[in-house]
Amino acid sequence: MTIIRSVRAEDLAEVLALTARLADFPLPPGRTSREIALADHPLLRAQVDAPRDDVLFLLAEDEPGAPLGTIFTNTKLDYFTGAPIAYVEVLAVAESAAGRGIARRLMQETEAWARTRGLARVDLMVFSVNTRARGFYEHLGYRDEFARYVKDL
Protein backbone atom coordinates (compact mmCIF):
# COMPACT_ATOMS: atom_id res chain seq x y z
CA MET A 1 0.00 0.00 0.00
CA THR A 2 1.39 3.38 -0.98
CA ILE A 3 1.68 5.98 1.74
CA ILE A 4 2.39 9.66 1.27
CA ARG A 5 4.11 11.46 4.12
CA SER A 6 6.31 14.43 4.87
CA VAL A 7 9.97 14.11 3.91
CA ARG A 8 12.30 13.57 6.85
CA ALA A 9 16.04 14.24 7.06
CA GLU A 10 16.85 10.55 6.62
CA ASP A 11 14.96 10.57 3.28
CA LEU A 12 17.08 13.27 1.69
CA ALA A 13 19.53 11.05 -0.23
CA GLU A 14 16.69 9.05 -1.76
CA VAL A 15 14.76 12.20 -2.65
CA LEU A 16 17.83 13.77 -4.26
CA ALA A 17 18.32 10.60 -6.31
CA LEU A 18 14.77 10.93 -7.64
CA THR A 19 15.62 14.30 -9.19
CA ALA A 20 17.52 12.51 -11.97
CA ARG A 21 14.04 11.78 -13.38
CA LEU A 22 13.48 15.52 -13.89
CA ALA A 23 15.69 15.26 -16.98
CA ASP A 24 14.13 12.09 -18.38
CA PHE A 25 12.95 13.59 -21.67
CA PRO A 26 14.62 14.85 -24.87
CA LEU A 27 16.55 17.82 -23.52
CA PRO A 28 16.39 21.23 -25.15
CA PRO A 29 19.60 22.59 -26.66
CA GLY A 30 22.02 24.00 -24.11
CA ARG A 31 20.71 21.99 -21.14
CA THR A 32 22.28 18.93 -19.55
CA SER A 33 20.70 16.16 -17.52
CA ARG A 34 23.08 16.89 -14.68
CA GLU A 35 22.21 20.59 -14.36
CA ILE A 36 18.48 19.85 -14.48
CA ALA A 37 18.76 17.08 -11.88
CA LEU A 38 20.91 19.14 -9.49
CA ALA A 39 19.22 22.54 -9.84
CA ASP A 40 16.72 22.03 -7.02
CA HIS A 41 19.05 20.27 -4.59
CA PRO A 42 19.85 23.43 -2.57
CA LEU A 43 16.15 24.15 -2.15
CA LEU A 44 15.41 20.58 -1.03
CA ARG A 45 18.36 20.51 1.37
CA ALA A 46 17.37 23.87 2.85
CA GLN A 47 13.87 22.60 3.63
CA VAL A 48 15.26 19.55 5.41
CA ASP A 49 17.80 21.65 7.33
CA ALA A 50 15.36 24.41 8.32
CA PRO A 51 11.76 23.42 7.57
CA ARG A 52 9.43 26.25 6.58
CA ASP A 53 5.70 26.22 7.27
CA ASP A 54 4.85 27.58 3.82
CA VAL A 55 6.32 24.54 2.02
CA LEU A 56 4.88 21.10 1.33
CA PHE A 57 7.55 18.43 0.89
CA LEU A 58 6.19 14.91 0.50
CA LEU A 59 7.46 11.41 -0.22
CA ALA A 60 5.42 8.52 -1.61
CA GLU A 61 6.60 5.03 -0.73
CA ASP A 62 5.38 1.45 -0.50
CA GLU A 63 7.91 0.57 2.15
CA PRO A 64 10.57 2.49 4.06
CA GLY A 65 13.65 3.12 1.95
CA ALA A 66 11.85 2.51 -1.34
CA PRO A 67 10.70 5.94 -2.56
CA LEU A 68 8.19 6.08 -5.38
CA GLY A 69 8.00 9.82 -5.80
CA THR A 70 8.37 13.22 -4.25
CA ILE A 71 6.84 16.66 -4.54
CA PHE A 72 8.14 19.98 -3.26
CA THR A 73 5.65 22.83 -3.32
CA ASN A 74 6.56 26.33 -2.25
CA THR A 75 4.43 29.35 -1.50
CA LYS A 76 5.24 32.25 -3.80
CA LEU A 77 3.62 35.50 -4.83
CA ASP A 78 1.86 35.71 -8.18
CA TYR A 79 3.88 38.04 -10.42
CA PHE A 80 0.83 39.98 -11.60
CA THR A 81 -1.44 40.12 -8.56
CA GLY A 82 0.98 39.71 -5.67
CA ALA A 83 -1.38 37.11 -4.19
CA PRO A 84 0.17 34.02 -2.61
CA ILE A 85 0.08 30.88 -4.76
CA ALA A 86 1.29 27.31 -4.49
CA TYR A 87 4.27 26.72 -6.75
CA VAL A 88 5.38 23.18 -7.58
CA GLU A 89 9.16 23.27 -7.70
CA VAL A 90 9.76 19.51 -8.01
CA LEU A 91 7.61 16.54 -8.94
CA ALA A 92 9.60 13.39 -9.58
CA VAL A 93 8.48 9.77 -9.74
CA ALA A 94 10.77 6.74 -9.82
CA GLU A 95 10.85 5.01 -13.20
CA SER A 96 9.70 1.79 -11.54
CA ALA A 97 6.59 3.60 -10.24
CA ALA A 98 5.61 5.29 -13.51
CA GLY A 99 2.02 4.72 -14.48
CA ARG A 100 0.85 3.87 -10.96
CA GLY A 101 -0.84 7.20 -10.27
CA ILE A 102 1.85 8.40 -7.86
CA ALA A 103 2.32 11.77 -9.58
CA ARG A 104 -1.43 12.33 -9.69
CA ARG A 105 -1.74 11.58 -5.98
CA LEU A 106 1.13 13.92 -5.14
CA MET A 107 -0.47 16.69 -7.19
CA GLN A 108 -3.80 16.05 -5.43
CA GLU A 109 -2.01 16.43 -2.09
CA THR A 110 -0.55 19.74 -3.28
CA GLU A 111 -3.93 21.01 -4.42
CA ALA A 112 -5.57 20.02 -1.11
CA TRP A 113 -2.73 21.69 0.84
CA ALA A 114 -3.10 24.86 -1.24
CA ARG A 115 -6.86 24.95 -0.66
CA THR A 116 -6.47 24.57 3.12
CA ARG A 117 -4.05 27.52 3.05
CA GLY A 118 -6.52 29.64 1.10
CA LEU A 119 -4.35 29.72 -2.02
CA ALA A 120 -6.34 30.25 -5.19
CA ARG A 121 -3.98 28.61 -7.69
CA VAL A 122 -1.15 26.17 -8.28
CA ASP A 123 1.60 27.14 -10.72
CA LEU A 124 4.52 25.17 -12.12
CA MET A 125 6.97 25.25 -15.00
CA VAL A 126 7.74 22.48 -17.46
CA PHE A 127 10.09 22.40 -20.43
CA SER A 128 8.17 22.85 -23.66
CA VAL A 129 9.86 19.76 -25.13
CA ASN A 130 8.74 17.60 -22.20
CA THR A 131 5.58 16.39 -23.89
CA ARG A 132 4.98 13.60 -21.37
CA ALA A 133 4.87 16.03 -18.45
CA ARG A 134 2.84 18.58 -20.38
CA GLY A 135 0.27 15.93 -21.26
CA PHE A 136 0.10 14.82 -17.63
CA TYR A 137 -0.52 18.34 -16.32
CA GLU A 138 -3.07 19.08 -19.03
CA HIS A 139 -4.88 15.85 -18.12
CA LEU A 140 -5.11 17.17 -14.56
CA GLY A 141 -6.66 20.42 -15.80
CA TYR A 142 -3.59 22.64 -15.92
CA ARG A 143 -3.11 24.95 -18.89
CA ASP A 144 -0.05 26.61 -20.34
CA GLU A 145 0.21 30.32 -19.71
CA PHE A 146 3.71 31.42 -20.74
CA ALA A 147 6.23 30.69 -23.42
CA ARG A 148 9.75 31.43 -22.26
CA TYR A 149 12.25 32.27 -24.99
CA VAL A 150 16.01 31.88 -24.68
CA LYS A 151 18.98 32.61 -26.88
CA ASP A 152 22.38 31.15 -26.16
CA LEU A 153 25.21 33.63 -26.65
Q: Does residue 105 sit within a domain?
A: yes
Sheet holding 56-63, edge to edge: 3-6, 56-63, 66-77, 84-93, 122-124
**Mean per-residue pLDDT for 81-108?**
97
> Across the chain, where does the E strand assignment appear?
3-6, 56-63, 66-77, 84-93, 122-124
Question: Which domain covers residue 32, as residue numbers?
Answer: 3-123
Q: Does residue 140 sit within a domain?
A: no
Q: Does residue 128 sit within a domain?
A: no
For the stretch 14-40, what's the b/e string if a residue is b when 16 or more beta carbons lie within 10 angstroms of its beta carbon?
bbbebbbbbbbbeeeeeeeeeebbeeb
The partner residues of 63 in beta bridges, in order of sequence, read 66
| Count helices and strands in the chain by DSSP H and E runs | 5, 5
Res. 151 pLDDT band, cuts 50 70 90: confident
pLDDT for position 152? 84
* Segment 83-96, tens digit of pLDDT: 999 999 999 999 99
Answer whether residue 120 shows pLDDT above 90.
Answer: yes
Q: Does residue 145 sit within a domain?
A: no
Q: Does residue 57 sit within a domain?
A: yes
CATH number reported for the structural domain that contains residue 32 in this entry: 3.40.630.30
Q: Which helix (H) or strand (E) holds 46?
A: helix 41-49
Q: Does residue 90 sit within a domain?
A: yes
Pairing mode, strands 56-63 and 84-93: unpaired
Domain count, the chain: 1
pTM above 0.85, yes or no: yes
Q: Does residue 36 sit within a domain?
A: yes
Q: Does residue 18 sit within a domain?
A: yes
